[in-house]
Amino acid sequence: MLEGMKKIDEVEWEVPVGYVPGMRVPARFFLSEDLEESLEEGAVHQLANVATLPGIVRHALAMPDIHSGYGFPIGGVAAFREETGIISPGGVGYDINCGVRLLATPLRVEDLTQMRALVEELFRTVPTGVGAESRMRLSARGLEEMLVEGVPWAVREGYGIEADAVHCEENGQMQGADAVPVSKRARKRGMPQAGTLGAGNHFLEVQAVDKVFDPGVAAVYGLEEGQVCCMIHCGSRGLGHQVCTDHLRVLESATRRYGIEIPDRQLACAPVHSPEGEAYFGAMAAAANYAWVNRQVITHEVRKVFSRLFGIEYEEMPLVYDVAHNVAKREVHDTDGRRETLYVHRKGATRAFGPGRVEVPQDYRAVGQPVIIPGSMGSFSYVLHGTGTAMERTFGSTCHGAGRVMSRTAAKKSMPGKEVREALLGRGIYVRATSDASIAEEAPAAYKESDKVVDTVTRAGLSMPVVRLRPLGVIKG
Amino acid sequence: MSFIEVPHPADVKVRVRADDCNTLFAEAARAMFSVMYVTAEDRGVERTLAVSSDDLTSLMVDFLSELLYISEVDRVVFSTFEVEIDGTDLKARAFGEPFDPARHLGGMEIKGVSYSGLGIVRDGEQFCSEILFDV
């Protein structure tokens, strides 16, 4: 373990005040002994920087998939008071509401006799990779409505079924979304991209439920061993990137004007209820709605493909749940014996609300929200459920994925994409991408093992395993 | 080569060197496009742009962000750049070719240009900058 870290619990560590100048509270992170080697000093430094921001409550936090980012580390979580706190794009990132959803199907693994044909059909249907454009014909007014209304708008327009919206965080519609501070530039980028997968680590995967850890909760989520599912991982595309770029520019000068001292310019911020803070929050929430619709439109295309190939109805392919990985939200939490409205930033972290919370859909409320953890390409993904412990310790948050351990360039050098593709095929996983290079940069060896990350959050009690999913076919940009 | 990639676990970081500030900015843009596209040539497409910022670091972020925007909405891949900086005002010409999936796929999508650790420093006779891109 790095020098200066204080052990709090079996898998919980504290970065004491003073680790970097100006820390208002200690920082804490969760890490098991077998992940210690992967911890970067730079990431801990970034986490400590978060603890210097005004109005931060209790601790700056990081999940076991922590690694260096910009502004907040990836895996970072921080909550700020409404009255004295700030809002910062550095705690959200460029890909606003990058997230993941899981779609169930009535199919069993043995029904998928033509995996290659299915994956090729999905690849032809879902626009994928840099420069890919949507087949959706969106008017300026349509975009405006989408930004404010999110998934319910998409369902109304025919891109989903009624039950979809309630199985998204925030019902697929962030409160406070405002299209006005979404610039013309952001809209211009967003117009042709709704319903596109993008590139990088974004993917669409056909999976099978491989192992059930908690049959009771799995039944509540509608999942059982051997069942075929579909996972969709993508974000807000150019619209979200532009919202971040535009508002970062404004907040950069606002930070100085409000007399806020920050150790990293990427942590540019403004008081929650300042004009600049409110404009960013409104635009960010609108971009979050765009991302939900993006995943919703892709869901619609996936359902069309499955319906065509297997003769099943859309209603037989329910959305299990959709979680956001990069977002700031207005939430009510118990802090030191009182209920308080906080602005919770999660950057590469997942909300993990426990049983009883009103934000969890009625049909899941008794067991807590589903937490969807995508593995890296070729490795296991997981569904967990939120817990009361997460509510007490991490503002209802947990990890978001495996976390990289190798740069994309190093990954490309270590094994050519063709070899990665063939090795995965040897394990029964058919991968279809726009290029072999993009397969190489996402090679399984470039990531922490997702089971170790999941093991850490389980031991910490932040979320508990429900099922494990094995990849069968992957499409990526 | 006036730029190299510095190892970074999650994103892409480049270190750029040049004899003067104008060339530093032009090379930073070239580095960014070499991350995004496997190939880029000057095939007759030209755009001009002007950016003003509060300081030189912001000017770098704003200049590269502007190029990302133009590249995406105009579907253009840039390869070479002429930059002229006066204080914190910048004028540039960018040269390239239309985006063609058959030629250009295989690079990385850059989501944003980060301020993290970004500075423009004198290193002996040269200007140097390290830029972190969110990919």
pLDDT at B51 over 90: yes
Q: Tell me the pLDDT tens digit for each residue of B21-46.
A: 999 999 999 999 999 998 888 999 99
What are the extents of the domains in chain A? 6-405+447-476
Q: Tell me the pLDDT tens digit for each residue of B94-134.
A: 999 999 988 888 788 899 999 988 989 998 899 999 999 99
Higher-confidence residue of A241 and A415: namely: A241
Which candidate, B109, B130, B116, places its Cα nearest to that of B24?
A: B130
CB contact under 8 A, A264 and B115: yes
Best mutation site among A38, A266, A404 for testing chain B: the one with the most B CBs within 10 Å? A266
Q: Confirm whether B122 is domain-assigned.
A: no
* C-alpha radius of gyration, chain A, whole number: 21
**Alpha helices in A150-274, H assignment, sequence order:** 151-156, 184-190, 215-221, 237-257
**Nearby residues of A216 by Cβ (< 8 Å), 6 or more positions away:** A367
Distance from CA of A438 to the nearest CA of B (A): 6
**Alpha helices in chain B, H assignment, sequence order:** 21-36, 56-74, 101-104
Q: Which of A270-279, A369-378, A434-443, B18-27 has the lowest mean pLDDT?
A: A434-443
**CATH number (domain holding residue B96):** 3.55.10.10
Q: Which residues pair with B121 in a beta bridge?
A: B128
Q: Confirm whether B79 is domain-assigned.
A: yes
With a threshold of 0.90, does the pTM exceed it? yes
Distance from CA of A457 to the nearest CA of B (A): 21
Q: For residue A266, what pLDDT is reported?
A: 94
Contacts of A406 in chain B (CB under 8 A): 9
pLDDT, mean of residues A432-440: 86
Nearest to B112 among A245, A264, A405 (CB): A245
CB contact under 8 A, A249 and B10: no
Q: For residue A95, what pLDDT is reported?
A: 96
How many residues comprise chain A?
Answer: 477
Cβ pair A238, A381 in contact under 8 A: no
Q: Which domain holds residue B29?
A: 19-110
Instruction: Please state, in angstroms and rounded to a whole number, the distance separating the CA atoms of residues A351 and B47.
Output: 43
Q: For residue A137, what pLDDT is reported?
A: 85
Please give the mean pLDDT across all residues of chain A: 95
How does strand A397-398 pair with strand A350-351?
antiparallel
Chain B residues within 8 Å of chain A (Cβ atoms): 5, 7-12, 36-38, 54, 57-58, 61-62, 65, 68-69, 72-73, 75, 99, 101, 104-109, 111-118, 132, 134-135
Q: Confirm whether B118 is domain-assigned.
A: no
Cβ pair A111, A228 in contact under 8 A: yes
Q: How many CA atoms lie within 13 A of A424 on its CB side?
A: 30
pLDDT, mean of residues A97-106: 98
pLDDT, mean of residues A384-404: 94
User: How many contacts, defined by CB atoms under 8 Å, are there between A and B?
Assistant: 116
- E-strand ranges in A21-134 read 27-30, 60-70, 72-81, 86-87, 99-108
pLDDT at A403 over 80: no
pLDDT, mean of residues A228-241: 97
How does strand A60-70 pair with strand A27-30?
parallel
Q: For residue A92, what pLDDT is reported?
A: 98
Q: Is A160 helix (H, G, I), strand (E, B) or coil?
A: coil
Band the pLDDT of A90: cuts 50, 70, 90.
very high
Q: Confirm whether B7 is domain-assigned.
A: no
pLDDT at A24 over 80: yes
CB contact under 8 A, A130 and B10: no
Q: Is A258 helix (H, G, I), strand (E, B) or coil?
A: coil
Which candidate, A452, A374, A69, places its Cα nearest to that of A207?
A: A374
State both tokens at B33. 């496009």
Q: Confirm whether B128 is domain-assigned.
A: no
Q: Give the rounded distance of the alpha carbon of A292 from its chain centre.
A: 11
Q: Which class does domain A6-405+447-476 fall in? A: alpha beta
Distance from CA of B123 to the nearest CA of A (A): 22
Contacts of A434 in chain B (CB under 8 A): 101, 105-106
Q: How many CA atoms lie within 13 A of A206 on its CB side?
A: 30
Band the pLDDT of B79: cuts 50, 70, 90.
very high
C-alpha separations of A252 from A4, A230, B56, B120, B131 in Å:
32, 40, 13, 17, 17
Q: For residue A109, what pLDDT is reported?
A: 97
A231 conformational bin, left if phi > 0, alpha if psi -120 to 50, beta if neither: beta
Cβ pair A183, A239 in contact under 8 A: no
Catalytic residues of A: 400
pLDDT, mean of residues A426-437: 90
pLDDT at A405 over 80: no
What angle is formed at CA A189 by the lines to CA A187 and CA A194, rounded to 5 degrees?
Answer: 85
pLDDT at A135 over 90: no
pLDDT at A180 over 70: yes
pLDDT, mean of residues A128-136: 86
Band the pLDDT of B1: cuts 50, 70, 90.
low
For A435, phi then psi, to 5°, come to -155, 155
Instruction: Please state, in angstroms and rounded to a whole number, the distance separating the CA atoms of residues B133 and B135.
Output: 6
Neighbours of A436 (CB within 10 A): 16
CB contact under 8 A, A253 and B57: no
* C-alpha radius of gyration, chain B, whole number: 14
pLDDT, mean of residues A281-289: 98
Cβ pair A330, A115 in contact under 8 A: no
- E-strand ranges in A336-380 read 338-347, 350-351, 370-373
> What percent of chain A clears pLDDT 70, i.e. is strictly above it?
100
pLDDT at A308 over 90: yes
For A235, nearest residue in chain B (alpha carbons): B111
Q: Which range, A186-200, A427-441, B55-69, is most confident? A: B55-69
pLDDT, mean of residues A324-336: 96
pLDDT, mean of residues A253-280: 96
Q: For residue A336, what pLDDT is reported?
A: 81
CB contact under 8 A, B38 and A438: no
> What percent of chain A clears pLDDT 90, i.e. is strictly above it?
86
Distance from CA of B41 to the nearest CA of A (A): 17
Nearest to B134 among A70, A435, A438 (CB): A70
pLDDT at A14 over 70: yes
Q: For residue A276, what pLDDT is reported?
A: 98
Q: For residue B9, what pLDDT is reported?
A: 78
Which candidate, A391, A379, A390, A409, places its Cα nearest to that of A470?
A: A379
Q: Tell me the pLDDT tens digit for each residue of A339-373.
A: 999 999 999 999 999 999 999 999 999 999 999 99
Best mutation site among A35, A40, A41, A68 for testing chain B: the one with the most B CBs within 10 Å? A68
Which candidate, A224, A229, A205, places its Cα nearest to that of A379?
A: A205
Instruction: Please state, in angstroms and rounded to a whole number, the distance separating the CA atoms of residues A362 and A383.
Output: 18
How is A293-347 classified by DSSP, letter by letter? HHHHHHHHHHHHHHHHHH---GGGS-EEEEEESEEEEEEEEEETTEEEEEEEEEE
Q: How many domains does chain B have?
A: 1
Best mutation site among B111, B131, B134 for testing chain A: the one with the most A CBs within 10 Å? B111
Q: What is the ipTM of this complex?
A: 0.95
